[in-house]
Chains A and B, each alone.
Chain A
Amino acid sequence: DQQVKQNSPSLSVQEGRISILNCDYTNSMFDYFLWYKKYPAEGPTFLISISSIKDKNEDGRFTVFLNKSAKHLSLHIVPSQPGDSAVYFCAASAFGNEKLTFGTGTRLTIIP
């Protein structure tokens, strides 16, 4: 049972445009959500997070939106840059449980 789903395995976006990566979850106990970025041959690195008391969190070019009623979150990257080409993982956790549940990842390719 995949509790965190990223239904788009890949996404291509023109440089300078907006990239939108989506993530859905099924477990209503999740209260903290994170996005990780992974380059080939490297470990994932933390990008941005959001708690369930918020519906939006921004950090520079990156914004995460959370829609609790739809159990959906999205990562917006504006403007997209070639260095953003990577695999992006969505992850979630529940209060009192340190474990993260990861999605399957979306490979983002920024086209120059």
Chain B
Amino acid sequence: NAGVTQTPKFQVLKTGQSMTLQCAQDMNHNSMYWYRQDPGMGLRLIYYSASEGTTDKGEVPNGYNVSRLNKREFSLRLESAAPSQTSVYFCASSEERGQGWSTDTQYFGPGTRLTVL
């Protein structure tokens, strides 16, 4: 049981290049998320997917696209990378929120450190 895995761990891009960050979870979770972490900004939600086949914008979606390939996998694509997208990117997944006071605990991957020159 690997939890949430992300590839690659590190990446350096030139401005204008494209790339896809991969994320997979083996916990049979319905919901998956992409965050970016920047100094002094905490974790900010880019996109999320409440279930297979659905995606929604988060707080900072501009410049990104996502694909929920199946229940396990959720990818994040940068079509034309910009220096402002230099950040650490985290993927997370969570248990489906049921009735009452069920938890929203999200489980995070180890992150991808992206530098755009």
Contact = CB atoms under 8 A, between A and B. Distances in A.
Interface of A: 4, 6, 9, 32, 34, 36, 41-46, 49, 51, 53, 89, 91, 93, 96, 98-100, 102-105
Given A98-B31, A98-B48, A98-B97, A46 B42 contact: no
Interface in B41-61: 41-45, 48, 50, 58
Interface string B16-34: 0000000000000001010
A89 to B, nearest CB: 6
B110 interface: yes
A44 B36 CA distance: 12
A100 B104 contact: yes
Contact of A44 (B43, B50, B104): B43
Contact of B105 (A4, A34, A42, A103): A34
Nearest to A43: B108
Contacts of A103: 42
Instruction: Bin the interface of chain B by size.
Output: 20 to 34
A105 B37 CA distance: 11
Contact of B58 (A45, A49, A99, A104): A99
A91 B90 CA distance: 15
Contact of A46 (B44, B101, B107): B107
A4 B44 CA distance: 12
Please indicate which of the listed interface residues A6, A32, A103 has the most CB atoms of chain B within 10 Å of its own CB. Answer: A32
Contact of A43 (B4, B42, B50, B94): B4
Given A43-B4, A43-B110, A104-B41, A49 B105 contact: yes
B42 A105 contact: yes
Contact of A49 (B33, B43, B103, B107): B103
B46 to A, nearest CB: 11
B114 to A, nearest CB: 14
A49 B31 CA distance: 19
A102 B105 CA distance: 13
A43 B43 contact: no
